Structure 1
Amino acid sequence: MAKWGEGDPRWIVEERPDATNVNNWHWTEKNATPWSKERLTQLFIDFKIVQSDIECVVNKVEECNGEATVNNRKGKLIFFYDWELVLKWSGRLLKNSKLSHNGKLTIPNLSEENNLEDVEITVTIDESNDESETLKQFMYNVGRDQIRKQLGVYIKELKEEYSKNLILPKKDANSSETTPGQAKDVNNAKNAAQKAAAQIPTAATPISSSNNNVTSKPVGCKLDVRSLTMTEEFHCNANDLYNALTKPEMVTAFTRAPAKVDAVRGGEFVLYGGNVHGKFEELVPEKKIQQSWRLKNWASGHYSNVVIELEETSSTTKMTLHQTGIPASEYTGMKNNWYRYYWVSIKQTFGFGASWPLGQS
């Protein structure tokens, strides 16, 4: 240890009245994980989202996995947090219905690396019908923005709470005869905390709210989307074609790449090296497959809805695909890719017949 008046002053403990972290030079760290888990739970339990004749509420934080730490290095605060959340929600239509429908909100990427508008929030429902689909669409269009605002509250409070006492004043910093440099250091912690809180990312489409209840429609840019309908005929029975679209080994065969396919309600699928992924929303063997479906390069959190219906005839199976929510700029490529990488490839791989379409629209 250097003596007073000798060597690098950063290491002279006498400069600090408590002989701790001279000039805030050393790395100091606080573990914010336990506090974060408790605060995230508090922010979302019984969190209501209400608009017009629809009411939804988050009932439970089912999963809260991750960590959070706050560090000080040379007087600079550095925040690290990385969370994966699963929230259980329920909703109902306030008019003409007494039924309650349940679902989940999955947040896989809440971290300091992402702005709030880039935080992905996936909305699913347990059972699909007209009422539950209305509620799911409401949670997608309105609820996600309110959830992001709550996440913003967590980030703001994290930065305010854990900025305290990480940046320490120098010796005589509280003296009435402080120098301008000392006075600056006294206020360093306060300024750092205020700066950290001010740098919180905000959601791209804020919604006015009071007491957690939505009072106005969301504002912001709407994505220009289109719908696609395709019809194909396959020389096989409906069960064979259903299996080709849902069995992992058969999907791997026609995509010619490793595929993850969990063909149950809420199960995930990941194809073509992660470029295509989503979840199964409804499955009726030999009849129907419904998916939340997206390409990796689409806007974060945006999913299209894909419904594939199978109709077996005496000698073939007629397949009809209807996809809604396709970004307009992707429409032509989407139609060509379904045809080339799905229908033609399935026919060639399994010998299910000629590759010319019956019709497209």
Structure 2
Amino acid sequence: MAKFDEADPRWLVKDMGEQGRNVNNWHWSERDVTDWAKHRLGELLGGVTLTAAPAAAASTGLESVGGEAFLNIRKGKMIASYDLEIRVGWKGELTDGEGRALGAATGKLHLPHVGDDNHDEDPEVRIVTDSNSPEAERLKAAIHANGKRPLLDAIHVFVKELRAGGPVLTETDNGQPSTANGTDGQPSSAANGKAAAEREKEKLREAAAAKAAAAEKKAAARAEGKIKLESKFHCRPQDLFECFVVQGRVCAFTQSPATVQPSPGGAFSWYGGAITGTFEELQPPHRIAMCWRFNTWPEDCSSKVVIEMTEPEPGNTVLKITQTGIPPADKFGTENTIELTETGWHSQVLQRIRHVFGYGV
């Protein structure tokens, strides 16, 4: 028997380390995975093709990542907590129809907030040029129209991997490789994590296939000079209807001179004459049909715009825009007319209506 106040080695429990104190992550633990996030983003965002010729652009790699990323783990469940600011370099080149270079430019793609609070949304992408040259502006417009999607797809891959526990799927608490099964013969959290990762990969493949099919369908529509948009607003259909037929409201969201004659055959002019046309049909508060054109389009070219508003729930309005007859190029020979038109509807009309009148969703 041990003497009084003397330790008996038979009763001593040796230090089992963090693994012994937190078996199978029963207790809440937190891992800083910021370094992994920076490394993975560097892999995903380097050399991404953004747009094709004649305004070809690609990313040149990750330039900086600000913020932090953590994985909170308990009982094998992983909860990602992250708030990142990302900057990616880009370069581009303009060519003519025969592949001759016309100019080049460089810049940055700035994602000010990639966080767990918007994991299921497309984060904001700001396009910055290193110069104000005409080439830089044309490449910026091309990236704005078509080049964000490849970048956002890479960001979504990163987010899915992080939320699935990518940095720790093959590690135990002490950083050593884990076995396939736990001590009770059941699959370990690492094995479960691997299975979850495989399911996520399969979902990504299915989503990519669906996206490719949608892109093919969209490309076919654009070949016909057609675009279709859908957007949601917190307001009544009459509120949105008036945004297009009341002159004061058009002036308010465009912040520029406008004229509106709200009757069939009546003319309208937005943005000081940059957009002009006539009303063909007015069915308040659910339908507007217009003959519509940009002043940069060929003189004999106009399109048809149909705006439809429905209210599936009181106070929630769904707006759909269908535009047909968009020319493939403007009168200066610029060939991204369809993309610029679609982008303009989103940024210069719908978003402005949300912000000015408080109809955001």
Tell me which interval the TM-score lies in, with the shorter structure as reference length. 0.3 to 0.5
TM-score, with length taken from structure 2? 0.48
Of Structure 1 and Structure 2, which has the larger fraction of its residues in helix? Answer: 2
